Structure 1
C-alpha cells in the first residue's frame, strides 16, 4: 500500500475530510504535538481504509505525567468465553483479536512520537462501512435545525428521520442514523425549558448581580442563540475557593426526570471537613466539548487558578476535558464508583465471590505499589481473568484510583472509600428527582443558607467548646488548641491507635533514623500485625510514614506519633499543624454577604465591596517588597485600632465583630493569631 492515498468522492459528505485531500499512512518516527492530534490523524486514516479506532493502554510515571499510550483497531481484544458469561444471555461483540494499532511515547521535548505501527488487520476492510462507525457520525448544523423544527411541530422521530433520508437521496448519503437523530432530538428538548424556568434563571442572576458585582455567570448558546449550558458562582463561593480550592470534587447528576438535565456542582471541603459549593452548572449534554466549556468557565471565574487535585467518577469525557483545561492537576477517580461496579462486571463468573474478595484485598489491603501489582497478577492468574476488558482498563489506569497510587498527595480528607460529593449529597432535603428547574432555583438559596449555618455552628463550637485530651502528650494539646473540633477528633482517632503500635528502632544513617512500627489490627475478623516503615530526620525534625496519611489527609498518623513518643518529642513542628484545619484563622469569605446569608440589617454589601477593592489595590502595590509590606502592615494595625476605638454608630457595626475589619486573604498574616513554633527535642534511642 502506498504512503499517500487520494480520498474517494463518496466520503466527501463528512466535513472532516475534503474531496481530493491526501491521507497519509502512519509511520514509525512520526511526531505530533498532542495525543489528541495522534488520535485525529489515525482516525482520518481509519475512516478512509474502513475501520474504527479506540484508545487502549496508557502508562503514567510516578509524577502522574503520561509516558506512553496506544490507539488500536476497535476489534482488538478477545470476546469473553461462553463459560465466563451467562450462556442464556448471548451478546454481540466486535472483538476478534485484531493487532492493528499505533503506539506512541512522550519525548523530553514534549512531542508525541510513534514508536510502533502495525497496519495489518485480521478482518476485511470496507471503506464504504466507515459511515456506520460511531466515531465518524456527525449531524451538520442545517440538519440539526430541521430536526428540531420538525420535532417542535409534532412530527415523530421516525417520520422526521425518514424525511431526511428522502431529501439526502438514501441512507448511504447521511452521516448519521435514526438513533443519532433520536438522541439529538432528546438533547434539544432539554434546551426548551419549561414554563417559568428561563424567567426564574434570569431573575435569579439579575438579583445576584445587583446584590454583588462579584457574582459570576456564563451562558453557552447554540447556533440559534438558545441556552445550551449555564455556569454560575456567587461571591462567597469565589472567595471560598481562595481558601479551600486546592482539592475539588466534581460530579454530575440529573436534576429532574422531566428534563434529564445534568447538574454539575464543584464541591470542596472546609476546615471542618464539611462540603462547600465552589460553583455549579446546568448542562445539555455530557460530552468532552461541554465539559471543556464548563471547566474553562469555572477557571475564568476563579481567576485562572486551577485546583491542585480533582476527583470525578470514571467518565472518559470528563477525563479528556480535565487533560485539556487542567493539565497540571492530579486527577483521581472516585473509588466508590469503581467498586460498586464489581457485581455488574464480574457477576457472570462462576467464582464471583472469590474474585470479589481477591480484588478487594488487592485494592484495600496493600501498602506498597509492588504489593498491589503482585496481588493483582495473582488474582488474574488464579481465576484466568486476563481477557476481562474492564479489569484490563482498571489496571492500565491504576494510578487514578488504587489507594497506594493516590496517597502521595493531599486530598483534603476526601476519603478514597466514600462516594464523591454530588448534588444528591450537597442539596439533600431540598431537591428530589421530581424538582422542576424553577423549584430548584427557589430552593438553591435555602440549601446554601443551611450549609452556611452549619459551618457557623461548627465555628462557634470549636471556639467555645473543647474535647478533653486523651493523653498526657504535649502535641495533643497543640492540636486541641489549634484545630477545629472535627479535625481534632481525627487526630484523637490516631492517638487511640497508639495503644496498638510498637515502634522498633532499625538503623541510623547520618541524620536519618529508620523505625519499624508494628500495628495490631483486625483484618477480615482476624488479628493481624502490620509493619510500617517510618523515617525520622533529626536535622529538619521531619517524620514520614509509608502509610502517607499526613500527605493524603493532612493528619499525622499513629505510626509517626509513636516514633515521636519513642524519641521523647513532646511537641510537633508547626509544619504538621496545617492552617487549613485551624479554627483561629480569619477567612475572607466569612465576611461576604450574599442573598442567603448576612451580618445583620446594618451591614452594607456595596460598602464592603468598595472597601475591599481599595484594600486589595493597596496590597497589590506592595508586590514582593518587604519594605512596602511592612508599611501596609503598620497602616492596617493603626486603622484597626482607630476603628475599634470609634464610638459612633458607623464604627460600632463592623461586618465581622470578632475579626479585623480587614478580611482579605492577602492580609490574613497581619490579622491572624500568631502560632507558637514548638522546639524539636532530639534524643537517641537506647
Structure 2
C-alpha cells in the first residue's frame, strides 16, 4: 500500500480545496446539503464559519426556503442579570448570508446574497471552525485500527500530518481524532455485556412494574446509551422534583462511559437519585435522547430548574427538551475557574476573598449586584472578560 502524500490525495482522505466561486443568484444546487457544503468550503477559503440559520416550509410541510449565514450572525443575548460570561461572544451581528429557494425543477437556487462582513477574516484559522472538521471514513477506519493495535493517538495523528506535509493540510485537529476514538471505545460493549444489561432491566421490570429503563441502539444494532430509574426515584421526584443537578464528570466503569446521574435534594437536605444514565458521547443528540427518556420516565413533568456545568451541548439540549425550565450553572464549576481567570492579578488573594464573600454573604439579588459592581471598581476588573 502506497502511503505517500500523493496516494492520500488520490484517495481524497486529505485534499486541498479548489478556488471557490463567489455566491451569486446564478447558482443552483441539487440539494440543501450540496448548497451547505459549497458555502462551508467558500467560508473556509475566505476564513469565516458558516451555519444553517433559518428554514421555511410550504403548505405541504416540505422545506421551501433556507438561509445559510456567517457563523457570527446574530447578537449575544445574556440570560443572566449578572454581567459575567465564561467566554466573550463571537457573535458580531454579521449580515453575510445566502438565501435559497426550491424551484419547480427541484433545484435549490440562490435568491439573494450579502457578502460584506463586519469582522475580520482568518483563512489560516478556518480549520479550527467546527464545521470544517472532516474525518473521512478511511481516516476513521485507520484511527480505529491503530487504536486496537495500541498505537498511540499522538503517533497516529502525527503520521497523518507528515503524509499531508503539514498541519495546515489536515482537515481536522487532533482533538477531533481524540473525540472520535473516545466515542468508538465507548461503543465497544461486548455482545454479552449488552445482553446482560437488557436481561437485568427486563428482570427488574418484571419484579417491579414501576421500574423504568430506556435503551438506545445504533444503526449497527449495538448498545449506545441507556437510562434507568428505580421506583423510589420516580416516587421521590413527585415530592422533591422542583430542581435537580445533572453532571457527567464521573467515569466509573471499564468502558469509560460517562455516568449521568439526575440528583435532587429531599426535605432533610440529603441528595437523592432521580435516575441515571450511561452515555457513549457528550453531544447534543445524546443529551436530547437522555433528557427525553428521563422526561418520559417522569410522566412528562419537567422540573422548574436544572443545575449543570457550562457544557454547551448540554445547554442546547436543555433548551430543546426543557424550554420552560430555568437553567443555572453549578456554583462549584464556576468557582473552580477563579484561579484560571484571576491568578495573574497581584491582588489575587484579596480579589478571591472578596468574590467569595460577595457570593456567600449576599442575601438578595440586588445586594449581590451592588457588591459585584463595587468589587469590579475596587480592583479595576472592567477589562477582564473572564
TM-score (norm 2): 0.67
- Residue of structure 1 in register with 2:38 after alignment: 19
Q: CA deviation digits over 1:237-287, x for unaligned, max 9?
A: 233323332222212232337543211111223343332221100112223
Matched length: 320
Instruction: Check the 8 A contact 1:248/1:310 in 2, yes or no.
Output: yes
Q: Deviation per CA, 1:597-643: give whole Å up to 9, x if none.
A: xxxxxxxxxxxxxxxxxxxxxxxxxxxxxxxxxxxxxxxxxxxxxxx
Mapped contact 2:40–2:132 kept (Cα < 8 A)? no
Question: Residue 118 of structure 2 corresponds to which residue in structure 1?
Answer: 120
Cα pair 2:70 2:94 within 8 Å, conserved:
no
Please state if 1:219 is matched with 2:215: yes
Which of 192, 208, 229 is equivalent to 2:204? 208
The answer on 1:323 being equivalent to 2:341 is: no
In structure 2, the CA distance between the partners of 1:266 and 1:230, relative to structure 1 (3 Å rule), is same
Give the 4+ runs in structure 1 shifted more than 6 A: 20-24, 162-173
Aligned with 1:281: secondary structure?
strand
Given that 1:6 and 1:23 are in contact with CA atoms closer than 8 Å, whether structure 2 keeps it comes out as no
Contact kept in structure 1, 2:73 and 2:94, CA below 8 Å: no
Q: CA deviation at 1:231?
A: 1.0
1:173 deviates by 6.8
**Which residue is 1:45 aligned to?**
70
- Looking at structure 1, the residues matched to 131 and 39 of structure 2 have their Cα atoms a distance apart, in angstroms, of 21
2:132 is aligned to 136
Which of 35, 52, 59 is the equivalent residue of 2:78? 59
Alignment gaps of 5+ in structure 2: 1-21, 28-32, 44-52, 56-65, 83-87, 96-114
Give the match's secondary structure for 2:269: coil
What are the residue-to-residue correspondences of 1:586-605 with 2, within 5 Å?
none
Query: Per-residue deviation at 1:294?
Result: 0.9
SS at match of 1:388: coil
- Cα drift, residue 227 of structure 1: 2.2
The answer to whether the 8 A contact 1:7-1:21 is kept is no
Cα deviations by residue, 1:459-502 (Å, 9 ceiling, x for unpaired): xxxxxxxxxxxxxxxxxxxxxxxxxxxxxxxxxxxxxxxxxxxx
Q: Which runs of 5+ in 1 are unaligned?
A: 9-13, 25-30, 34-39, 47-52, 65-69, 74-99, 104-116, 391-686
Assess if the C-alpha contact under 8 Å between 1:254 and 1:260 holds in 2. Answer: no
Query: What is the DSSP-based 3-state SS (H/G/I as helix, E as strand, rest coil) of the residue aligned with 2:374?
Result: helix
What are the superposed Cα offsets for residues 563-604 of structure 1, whole Å, 9 maximum, x if unpaired? xxxxxxxxxxxxxxxxxxxxxxxxxxxxxxxxxxxxxxxxxx
Q: Residue in 2 aligned with 1:263?
A: 259
Change (3 A) 1:144 1:362: same
| 3-state SS in 1 of match to 2:282 | coil
- Paired position in structure 1 for 2:244: 248
Tell me, yes or no, if structure 1 residue 72 matches structure 2 residue 68. Answer: no
Residues 147 and 7 of structure 1: CA distance in aligned 2, closer, same or farther (over 3 Å):
farther
Matched residue, 1:288:
284
Q: Following the alignment from structure 2 to structure 1, what is the Cα–Cα distance between the partners of residues 272 and 383?
A: 42
2-side partners of 1:149 and 1:226: how far apart? 19
